[in-house]
Amino acid sequence: MDESVFYIAEGAPGDKHSQESFAAAASSHSSQQHASFRQADAPLNGAVLTGTGQGERLIAASKGKALLTVWSWGKEGSDQKIPVPEEMKCLASCGQPDLGQTSSSHTVPSFRVPWLLAAGSKSGKLYVWELASGNLLCVKDAHYQEIATIEFSRCGTYLVTAGHDARCMVWKTLDLISAYTKDEHATKPYYSITDNTLPVMTVQLSLAGLANDLRLYTGSRDGTVRIYDVATRTLVTTFVLNHPVESLAVDPASRAIYAGLNNGLVRTIELYKVQNSVLEPVGGNKKIVTVDHDPELKHTFVHHQQRMAGGADAPVAVTQVKMSFDATNIISGDSLGRVFASNVVTRQVVKAFAPCNSPISRIYVDTCPVESVNASLGSTKNDKKHRLIPQLKRVLVSNDPIEHLLYLEIPNGEDEDEDFEAWLAKKSEEELEFRNLSTINTTVKEVPRAGEVGELQEKLEKVAQAYEELRGKHAELIEEHTKLLSE
């Protein structure tokens, strides 16, 4: 098992063809490099990594062009360039919804794509594609300005967009994709948040098994981090910070928020505190909590403020923060292209990754078996025809469902292998069938039938005797005859 950290940068401004850019995936625990992607760059939040290991892909929006570029894990060069209606600024993907208890398990097929790809454009439009068909299911004027980030809830039920127009929208995925049954223009956002005064740069959704527990965390350049309850559509807590918030990471157990600020600090916002010797949650009930200045650096990670030797004096912003698998480390990337893993308790850097030349635009952290990330071990049997994802359509799908055509590999259902115990039990039953359990031994013996056979035997003996006699006589006669002839 290994933890893989993937990061991609925005690309140097002068580098028109992304010659100098690269994206990489490396272990956060060892010096092992898992994969690298050449000429890969993406605007802030403008890249999607579908997973870690063979068969997964990196999809990134191109800088200044209406193009998405696709890389396959394990191949350095890009596989596909897909034209899209306009220049995209941020991307998000959503895996297949979980079937819960009724699910039957399938093994991962070698060709696989996530369910949906959502993209936010420079003009504030939201695009949603179904990756297996390439159908453009939804185009929506979601924001008045550029969309800064898009996030799907883990269950795929909600889609959250946040933009430079200081608004944040929660959509129901089902409403957006019901292209065949509804008038697409009638789709209204599930919840429209207009609490912020400056661009909302980052949103996070909590991991929630119950739809009622889903929390939305937003971070804005107006220096606030807000927590919303998605089910009831209410603001729960507002945290006010001293600096604009550029990125957020939320502890998987919802114990703390880590906010990356534009002055190079990562600030821990605890969601539980010891108050009068009792553990209490912080905030709630629409409270506004001012996050104090932290002169003793008890709750602050400062390592991004360290300048590189001879570096420019431009302010450093922490552009991405992610949590490690065990939530003891945060992985953070900054506008100088550096990526660090640091421990949340000691706030020490545990690992520094190979730096990029431009601001880090996306980080993914994933845990997977060691062999899966190793490019040399994986099967590369898929030829190009069966590796490329369907072209993304540039026009909205027609509302005739009959044209819905999926391009996919049907996964393998569970192979039930008979185990030895079961086999042996079956054999024991079969053996029983060979056994004679009755008290009667039915082995058939050849018993001569007395009457008929005896009679025949007698007859045969008689005939044989008669024949013998006859033969003797015949021989005698012949002898006599020869005697007569010789005389």
Partner 1 sequence: MSIPLSLIIKELESTPDSILSILSTLHYDKSILLNITKSETNHLISRTLNLTKSPDAYNKWCGTNLIRVLAENYTILSNNGIVLLEQLLTNLENYNHTIDRKILTSTIEAINFICKQIRGKPTLTREILTPKLPTIITKYLDNIHFNPLLVIDSLFILVKHHPTTFRPFGNKLASRLTGFLNLGEFTSFPEKLKQSIFKTLAILPVIEKAEPEVQWENNVRNIIKEVVSILSVYNEFLNLNDDADIKRLFQKLPSAEIDSKKLLEPLNLDVNQPKSLFQISSNIEILLNLLSTYLKVETRFSVRVPLGLIVTLNELICSINLRFVQFKFDVRDDALKSIIKATTLKNQFNAVKLLQELALVYRGNVLPHLTNILSYLEVLIPFKNKKIDFNELLINEELAVALLSCVESYLSLVGNLGDSSQLLRFVDTSLLLVEPRLDSSLAPAAVKKVDQPQGKNNKKKKNTNSVAMSDLLSHQHLFVESINSGTIKVVRSFLSAIISRVNLPPTQHYKIMRYLILEAVNAKYYSYEKSVSPQLRNLLINSVLYPGFEKVSLLPIVSQLIPQDPLLSVFTNPRFPPLPIYVKKVEEPTELAGFGDNDEDEEVVEEKTTVEDDSEPSAKRRKTDHGEASASTENGDASVIPAKPEDIEIVDEAKVFVTKEVSSEDVISFPSEPVVQEVKRVEVVTTAPVPAPVVAAPSVDVAESAAGDDSDFEMPEIDLDGDSDDDE
Strands (DSSP E) found in 110-180: 116-121, 125-130, 135-141, 147-152, 158-163, 168-172
232 binds partner 1 (CB under 8 A): no
The residues with which 368 forms a beta bridge, in sequence order, are 2
Q: Which is nearer to partner 1, 296 or 452 (CB)?
A: 296
157 binds partner 1 (CB under 8 A): yes
Chain residues 64-93 in contact with partner 1, contact rule CB under 8 A: none
212 binds partner 1 (CB under 8 A): yes
* Torsion from C-alpha of 190, 194, 195, 196, nearest 10 degrees: 120
- Residues present in the chain in total: 487
* Helix or strand holding residue 283 (H, E): none
Q: Which is nearer to partner 1, 164 or 387 (CB)?
A: 387
Q: Which is nearer to partner 1, 30 or 457 (CB)?
A: 30
* Helix or strand holding residue 252 (H, E): none
Pairing of strands 287-290, 234-240: parallel
302 binds partner 1 (CB under 8 A): yes
Structure tokens at 136: 């453009």
Rounded to a whole number of angstroms, the minimum distance from the CB of residue 352 to partner 1 is 4
Quick one: which of 279, 437, 447, 450 contacts partner 1 (CB under 8 A)? 279
Binding mask 137-156 for partner 1 (x = CB under 8 A): x---------------x-xx
Rounded to a whole number of angstroms, the minimum distance from the CB of residue 460 to partner 1 is 32
Q: Which is nearer to partner 1, 66 or 111 (CB)?
A: 111
Coil, helix or strand for 215?
Answer: strand
Quick one: which of 4, 340, 360, 362 contacts partner 1 (CB under 8 A)? 340
Chain residues 407-436 in contact with partner 1, contact rule CB under 8 A: 407-413, 420, 423-424, 427-428, 430-431, 433-434
Structure tokens at 199: 């661009």
Quick one: which of 8, 88, 116, 168 contacts partner 1 (CB under 8 A)? 116
Chain residues 168-207 in contact with partner 1, contact rule CB under 8 A: 172, 174, 177-182, 190
Quick one: which of 327, 370, 375, 396 contacts partner 1 (CB under 8 A)? 327
Do 367 and 1 touch, CB atoms closer than 8 A? Answer: yes
Which are the contacts of 129, defined by CB distance < 8 A and separation ≥ 6? 116, 117, 118, 119, 135, 136, 137, 392, 393
Quick one: which of 235, 349, 368, 375 contacts partner 1 (CB under 8 A)? 349
354 binds partner 1 (CB under 8 A): yes
Query: What's the start-to-end Cα distance of the chain, in Å?
Result: 118
